[in-house]
Amino acid sequence: MAVSTRTKRNAARPLIVTLIVIVVIAALGFSYASPYMALNKLKRAADARDAQTVNEYVDFPALRESLKQQVTGLLTRRLDVQGNGNPFAAIGAMIGVALIGPLVDAYATPDGVAALLNGMPPRGNPGERPPVPAGTDNPPAATAPAQEPAHPATGNNGNSTTPPQPPQTTAGYRGLNEFVVSYQHGAGDARYSAILRREGLFTWKLAAVNLNE
> What is the percent of the chain with per-residue pLDDT over 90, rounded to a whole number?
41
Quickly state the pLDDT bin for 157 (edges 50, 70, 90).
Answer: very low
Q: Taking residues 155-172, report their average pLDDT.
A: 63
pTM for this prediction: 0.72
Question: 22-78 pLDDT, tens per residue?
Answer: 888 888 888 899 999 999 999 999 999 999 999 999 999 999 999 999 998 888 877
pLDDT tops 80 at residue 177: yes
Residue 153 neighbours by CB under 8 Å, 6+ apart:
162, 164, 165
Q: What is the largest CA-CA distance in the chain?
A: 98
More confident residue, 108 or 146: 108
Quickly state the pLDDT bin for 161 (edges 50, 70, 90).
Answer: very low
What DSSP state is assigned to residue 165?
P
pLDDT tops 70 at residue 93: no
More confident residue, 101 or 65: 65
pLDDT at residue number 185:
75
Question: 126-146 pLDDT, tens per residue?
Answer: 778 897 655 544 444 333 333
- Angle (nearest 5°) at CA 193 between 115 and 35: 90
Specify whether the CB–CB gap between 120 and 192 falls below 8 A: no
More confident residue, 79 or 124: 124
